[in-house]
């Protein structure tokens, strides 16, 4: 949950009133309205007058978290807690920023400190559950969500969080009940409708669709609720075969989402070109002695909706392999090398790699192995399924030279249209426009061709359609590439009850089916911009 509970809001207001700061009370009001540019100067006025004011530090840190300045927020909160160790609101904010920076163990330690003093505090319990979700401990998170819901007035946000975790561990009927409970509390809660649609196996009734249309037509509906509803209606109508109206809703949802994000296809093309220019055979030859030698990581890369979850489920059904989730750690390392202080600053990635010694590269590989340990147990191999890591094959090769890399690929039109229909929880900003996603796919194919040229045989290309057509052959290819013996359980992947976080969670719990291969063809009359962006890719496409 991103929204704060009412008891936290009341505690904040009481603390600010007690501190006698009219500026901070006004700043908090601006924050609630999303006007962070108005709130920040008010906090700084107070800090200029009193550099040790911990209330101003905490509010400024909250603003930093909202606008993505997580490192600054963490430093402010550390200083506030040095000055006022018993400032519980600051400690709660500190636990939040630690979790958002991927320091989950530290975040849980702070939350346990807060809960030791107040074991039944609902907001800290929910934040702990959210943090446990981030490390894949959905069973413990579900227990906490249920405990909170049993003791305090239910909120739609907690019901949604419970539904998400239930879905992830495969308890679909209970997840549906949680989502329905959330929309019963707020009939315009677009995320509840989309979460039901995103199960992929759920079917809305005719009255459900009428309700969604009616809610979407309201004059004052929040735009976030609207685009969630639009994607849900697109899926509901697609399931009924009403493709023209379905596409109208997909287009509306994508158009609104596209206006709310920042993405530039030209910049992405330049970034891909810069990677190809930097990572030459000479770069890898010069660093042949660098990197952590662990064989444990198996990276599954590609584009979202390309079949990577299926490959993960197959491999995670092997006795020696553990599935984790889409881990952010490689991207985090790349961002540190990029050394961008603010959005719009020039990136030093990948050129900054030239400033690192072999020992530095080895240390980065060891850091990755250590940072990901919280997501796994003691299996010899684990899967990192972050699709965007396709841009970082060169970095992976330098810091983890023995890692296994698998490229999950799907027909360009099928993959791109499936991405266009998907409302992602975060990131994947290239998917909300048909031209953008087509250009992105073309850039991805071009970069993968480069990796194949400079690192021959290091990346296994697996075509989704081939897995559907001849599963056993492709499973054996996968296992051979990973250096693993064949196990029949990999063919019965749908029996694996492991937690699956992606949109394909329910689909990979079923045997392979072919009905979804060519769904894009039902929408072909409206895909002209996509086909134009993919023209050269389609001309040279080979399965």
**pLDDT tens-place string over residues 117-145:** 999 999 999 999 999 999 989 999 999 99
Rounded to the nearest 5°, which phi and psi values hold at 407? -100, 110
Band (449; pLDDT cuts 50, 70, 90): very high
Second CATH level (architecture) for the domain 265-518: 3-Layer(aba) Sandwich (3.40)
| 448 Cβ contact list (under 8 Å, min separation 6) | 390, 407, 409, 459, 461
If phi > 0 it is left, if psi is from -120 to 50 it is alpha, else beta; for residue 264 that is: beta
| 522 Cβ contact list (under 8 Å, min separation 6) | 238, 241, 243
* Cβ neighbours of 26 (radius 10 Å): 14
Query: Where does the chain hold its CATH 3.40.50.300 domain(s)?
Result: 265-518
> How far, in Å, CA of 408 to CA of 418, rounded?
14
Q: What is the pLDDT of residues 179-229, one digit of tens each?
A: 999 999 999 999 999 999 999 889 999 999 999 999 999 988 999 999 999
What is the rounded average pLDDT of the residues 483-505? 78
Q: What is the pLDDT of residues 331-390, one digit of tens each?
A: 999 999 998 666 667 889 999 999 999 999 999 999 999 999 998 888 999 999 999 999
Q: What is the pLDDT of residues 415-447, one digit of tens each?
A: 999 999 999 988 999 999 999 999 999 999 999
Q: Check residue 343 and give its pLDDT.
A: 63
- Our CA angle for 80, 86, 89, nearest 5°, is 65
Helices 88-100 and 104-117, axial angle in degrees (round to 10): 160
Band (518; pLDDT cuts 50, 70, 90): confident
């Amino acid at each position: 949950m991103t929204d704060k509970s009412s008891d936290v809001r009341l505690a904040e207001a009481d603390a600010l009133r007690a501190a006698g700061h009219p500026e901070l009370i006004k700043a908090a009001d601006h924050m609630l309205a999303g006007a962070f540019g108005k709130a920040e100067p008010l906090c700084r006025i107070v800090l200029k007058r009193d550099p040790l004011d911990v209330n101003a530090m905490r509010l400024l840190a909250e603003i930093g978290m909202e606008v993505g300045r997580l490192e600054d927020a963490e430093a402010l909160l550390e200083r506030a807690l040095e000055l006022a160790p018993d400032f519980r609101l600051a400690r709660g904010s500190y636990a939040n920023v630690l979790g958002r920076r991927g320091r989950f163990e530290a975040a849980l330690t702070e939350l346990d400190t807060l809960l030791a003093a107040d074991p039944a505090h609902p907001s800290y319990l929910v934040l702990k559950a959210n943090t446990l979700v981030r490390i894949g401990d959905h069973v413990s998170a579900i227990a906490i969500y249920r405990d909170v819901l049993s003791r305090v007035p239910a909120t739609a946000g907690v019901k949604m969080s419970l539904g998400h975790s239930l879905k992830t561990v495969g308890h679909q009927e209970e997840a549906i009940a949680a989502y329905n409970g959330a929309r019963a509390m707020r009939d315009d809660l677009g995320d509840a409708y989309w979460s039901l649609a995103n199960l992929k196996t759920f079917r809305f009734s005719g009255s459900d669709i009428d309700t969604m249309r009616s809610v979407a037509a309201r004059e004052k509906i929040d735009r976030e609720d609207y685009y969630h509803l639009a994607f849900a209606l697109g899926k509901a109508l697609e399931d009924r075969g009403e493709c023209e109206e379905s596409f109208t809703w997909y287009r509306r949802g994508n158009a609104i989402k596209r206006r709310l994000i920042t993405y530039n296809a030209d910049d992405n093309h330049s970034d891909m070109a810069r990677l190809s220019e930097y990572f030459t055979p000479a770069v890898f030859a010069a660093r042949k002695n660098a990197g952590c030698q662990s064989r444990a990581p198996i990276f599954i890369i590609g584009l979202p909706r390309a079949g990577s979850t299926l490959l993960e489920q197959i491999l995670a059904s092997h006795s020696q392999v553990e599935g984790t989730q889409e881990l952010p750690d490689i991207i985090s390392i790349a961002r540190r090398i990029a050394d961008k202080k603010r959005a719009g600053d020039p990136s030093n990635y990948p050129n900054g790699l030239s400033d690192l010694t072999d020992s530095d590269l080895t240390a980065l590989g060891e850091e990755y192995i250590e940072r990901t340990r919280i997501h796994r147990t003691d299996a010899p191999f684990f899967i990192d399924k972050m699709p965007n890591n396709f841009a970082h094959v060169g970095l992976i090769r330098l810091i983890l030279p023995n890692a296994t890399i698998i490229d999950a690929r799907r027909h360009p039109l099928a993959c791109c249209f499936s991405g266009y229909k998907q409302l992602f929880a975060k990131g994947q900003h290239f998917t909300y426009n048909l031209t953008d996603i087509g250009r992105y796919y073309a850039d991805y194919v071009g970069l993968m061709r480069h990796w194949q040229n400079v690192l021959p045989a290091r990346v296994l290309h697996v075509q989704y359609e081939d897995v559907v057509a001849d599963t056993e052959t492709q499973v054996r290819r996968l296992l051979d590439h990973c250096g693993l013996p064949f196990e029949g359980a990999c063919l019965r992947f749908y029996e694996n009850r492991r937690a699956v976080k992606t949109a394909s969670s329910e689909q990979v719990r079923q045997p392979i089916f072919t009905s979804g291969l060519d769904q894009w063809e039902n929408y072909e009359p409206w895909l002209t911009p996509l086909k134009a962006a993919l023209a050269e890719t389609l001309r040279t496409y080979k399965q």
